[in-house]
Amino acid sequence: MKLQEAQKILEATCLTSYDPDSAIVMKACAADLLSDVLAFTETGTLLLTGLVHAQVIRTAEMLDLAAIVVVRGKQPSEEMVVLAKEKEIPLFSTPLNMYTAVGRLYTANVSGEAGE
């Protein structure tokens, strides 16, 4: 799925820039523990999280994640936004809670399983 489509599904506001023609989401992961993100995600994953600090961006960079969506209408720290722009990692905020956001992506056939 194109990242632009996921943005619409999640009613998300983009906080950085990205190329809508080339940004692709391979699957999704919802987590508030970065250790889980490190253990259970892979390249091309869309991360949904309630965390709003710069370490999320560093983790996304290490794993080459597709993008980060901050849930529950939270606003990322200024440091997080600046680092996301610097690392060219798409960063979004959605008013949806994590459960609803994941449900919408699941309904749109975005997998959360490795290798699918």
Distance CA 32, CA 91 (A): 16
Residues 6+ apart with CB under 8 A from 42: 26, 27, 63, 114
Q: What is the structure's pLDDT at 80?
A: 98
Q: How confident is the model at residue 14 (pLDDT cuts 50, 70, 90)?
A: very high
Token pair belonging to 66: 């597709």
DSSP string over 27-94: EEEE-S-HHHHHHH--TTEEEEES--STHHHHHHHHHT-SEEEE-TT----HHHHHHHHHHT--EEE-
Over 90: is that where the pLDDT of 116 sits?
no
The predicted pLDDT at position 21 comes to 80
What CA–CA distances, in Å, run from 76 to 1, 11, 13, 22?
25, 17, 12, 24
Residue 25 three-state SS: coil
Burial (Cβ within 10 Å: 0-12, 13-18, ≥19) of residue 41: buried
Q: How confident is the model at residue 114 (pLDDT cuts 50, 70, 90)?
A: low
CATH superfamily label, 3-107: HprK N-terminal domain-like (3.40.1390.20)
For the cut 60, the answer to whether the pLDDT of residue 30 exceeds it is: yes
pLDDT tens digits along 74-100: 999 999 999 999 999 999 999 999 999
**pLDDT at residue 115 in the model:** 55
Amino acid at 101: A
Give the pLDDT band (50/70/90) at residue 113. confident
Boundaries of every domain in the chain = 3-107
